[in-house]
Structure 1
Amino acid sequence: MTLLVVAAVLAAAVTHAVWNALAHTIEDQKVAFTLIGGGGAVIGGVIACFAPLPAGGAWPALIVSALVHVGYQALLMRSFTLGDFGQMYPIARGTAPLAVTVLATVFVGERLSGWQLTGVVFASAGLVGVALWGIRGSGARPHWPALLAAVATGLSIAAYTVIDGVGVRASGTALGYIAWLMILEGLAIPAYALYVHRGDLLAQLRPHAARGLLGALLSVSAYGLVLWAQTRAPLAPVAALRESSIIVGAAIGALFFKERFGAPRIAAAGLMVVGIGLMLRAS
């Protein structure tokens, strides 16, 4: 993992946390993800006009990934509706890196060096620490439907991460792959929202259009950076670095949603930094 790859994935982590926070500020999550998904599809369509078409071998992965992404968005909407951002976001993201490590080993045949694996474990420990602190620090009994939705979201993240890692490497073009992925996945939730809200949809979208479309731009940018990184580094370290967005998400929760940050999250951030250092040592 070169410094350029690390910088790209960390930039994606910050961008990802910001768009998730923007989505969380819109009370009606169908409206939020209609704007983000629909905006992403439009952006993908523009990019597709200029980017190369993905190679034929990438299309099965593209189609399956789009379906998994739709499920992921539905689960994420559900978890945001049921729980606090500062709890649901860390849990959803924190379950992914180790799952990606297992899936990449079983299905892609990737083998991490000792330093890389140690770095992934340290980073994952930090991420899980943030998630567990979010549950304990809430002062309330765990809300199991919210927790289950968040964990299921994390497993769907691991699934599409591995699928897209395989697909983007077969595509020959990270830019073309992200464009068509946005097109394929971006229309499902807007179509569902149109069916539910019918003639009232535009009126409900209008007050949140600026935030939603900014979220769409950030979403496409964040995942485009991750896909590019997956063509140049093993999937598990990229996934672990990407989920440093949890630390950013916790900071956003503290600054803007008045949620506590606290010493446990500082310790978790320290573990994340140690993990990043170990993965860089393996370069």
Structure 2
Amino acid sequence: MASFIVLLVLLSALMHASWNAFLHLSGDRLWLLGMFSVPYIVVSAIAVCVLPLPAQASWPYIAASVVLEFVYCFTLIRAYRSGDFGQIYPIARGLSPLLVFGGALVFAHEALHALAATGVALVSLGIMSLAFRRGMRFSGESVPYALLTGLFIAMYSVIDGLGARLAGNGISYIMWVYLLWNVPQFLVVCKLRGGAAKMFTSTSAVARGMLAGVLALTAYCLVIEAFRYLPIAMVSALRELSSIFAVLIGWLFMNEKLTARRMVACALVTCGAVLIRL
């Protein structure tokens, strides 16, 4: 069972890197965020009608997660606005496993085995080392927003790990989060972009935006289920293997170089994942 859950988390990591690539390549990231919300709203609205209500104890976690997810999306966009994708993504994703490890230890009383804890550290080190490439400089604005994004990722990961366990049904839990987060997000983007009618002018662009949303919501549903069976810090670290997939996507589809530095970083992340699994 554990091996199957790990495979689901790795699939989630691939999906996560893919939707971030859509966001990075978009000419209007705020507009894409609005399109991104549409499949979330449709799927979650149907799901909450047929799934049992989450247990009462999980609703404070749902409320907290909604706020954090909403703010996380806008800090991520703000970080991409002034920073390079190859720097911002690793900083934001590499910071969160260590923070989740600390949060899970304090709030969920989950202490990982020494090998797994070492693996979490290697994953974070490997991912963040991807951000430091020769000839690249950090923007004064991009790094603080990337670090803030990593903090929000860690916070909602711990909250969702605890909330999904209390809810009784992890999918029902996350569907309520999706609905309560994406309805106001879509309305805010529509307001900023001149109304809902102007959001749907290009069929191909709308399709790409909605595909990104489908990938994102499916990816995190898999993570939510994994939280119910594996330690939160373990799931978070394995999920951040998305950075390796992001490197491969950049190499295959964005003409980015697969340098020796990147390959060493990917090797560190892989070694960390192996230690976590052991």
**TM-score, normalising length from structure 1?**
0.93
Deviations 1:194-238 (A, max 9, x none): 222234x43344322101111111111000000000010111111
**Alpha-carbon distance in structure 2 between the residues aligned to 1:24 and 1:206:** 21
Partner of 1:271: 268
The answer to whether structure 1 residue 203 and structure 2 residue 214 are counterparts is no
Taking the TM superposition and a 5 Å limit, the aligned residue runs for 1:21-170 are 21-132=21-132, 136-137=133-134, 139-170=135-166
AA in 2 matched with 1:144: G
Query: Percent of aligned pairs with the same residue?
Result: 37
Following superposition, the deviation at residue 38 of structure 1 comes to 2.9
Q: Is the 8 A contact 1:55 1:171 kept in 2?
A: yes
Q: 1:181 aligns with which of 177, 184, 191?
A: 177
The answer to whether structure 1 residue 239 and structure 2 residue 236 are counterparts is yes
Following superposition, the deviation at residue 105 of structure 1 comes to 1.1
Deviations 1:220-264 (A, max 9, x none): 100000000001011111111000001111222222222222111
Query: Unaligned 5+ residue runs, structure 2?
Result: none
More displaced stretch, 97-106 vs 249-258: 249-258
Q: Is the 8 A contact 2:94 2:150 kept in 1?
A: yes
Deviations 1:28-62 (A, max 9, x none): 11111101123212211122233222111111100
AA in 1 matched with 2:158: V
**Alpha-carbon distance in structure 1 between the residues aligned to 2:15 and 2:137:** 31
Q: Is the 8 A contact 2:83 2:138 kept in 1?
A: no
More displaced stretch, 248-257 vs 112-121: 248-257
Describe the SS at the equivalent of 1:95.
Answer: helix
More displaced stretch, 43-52 vs 173-182: 43-52
**Alpha-carbon distance in structure 1 between the residues aligned to 2:58 and 2:125:** 33
Describe the SS at the equivalent of 1:131.
Answer: coil
Following superposition, the deviation at residue 175 of structure 1 comes to 1.3
AA in 2 matched with 1:254: W
More displaced stretch, 12-21 vs 1-10: 1-10
**Alpha-carbon distance in structure 2 between the residues aligned to 1:280 and 1:171:** 27
Q: Is the 8 A contact 1:70 1:185 kept in 2?
A: yes
Q: Which runs of 4+ in 1 moved over 3 A?
A: none
Partner of 2:212: 215
**Alpha-carbon distance in structure 2 between the residues aligned to 1:263 and 1:108:** 39
**Alpha-carbon distance in structure 2 between the residues aligned to 1:56 and 1:141:** 48
**Alpha-carbon distance in structure 1 between the residues aligned to 2:111 and 2:136:** 41
**Alpha-carbon distance in structure 1 between the residues aligned to 2:201 and 2:176:** 26
Q: Alignment length, in residue pairs?
A: 276
Describe the SS at the equivalent of 2:179.
Answer: helix
**Once superposed, what is the RMSD of the aligned Cα atoms?**
1.5
Q: Is the 8 A contact 1:127 1:268 kept in 2?
A: yes
Query: Unaligned 5+ residue runs, structure 1?
Result: none
The answer to whether structure 1 residue 229 and structure 2 residue 226 are counterparts is yes
**TM-score, normalising length from structure 2?**
0.95
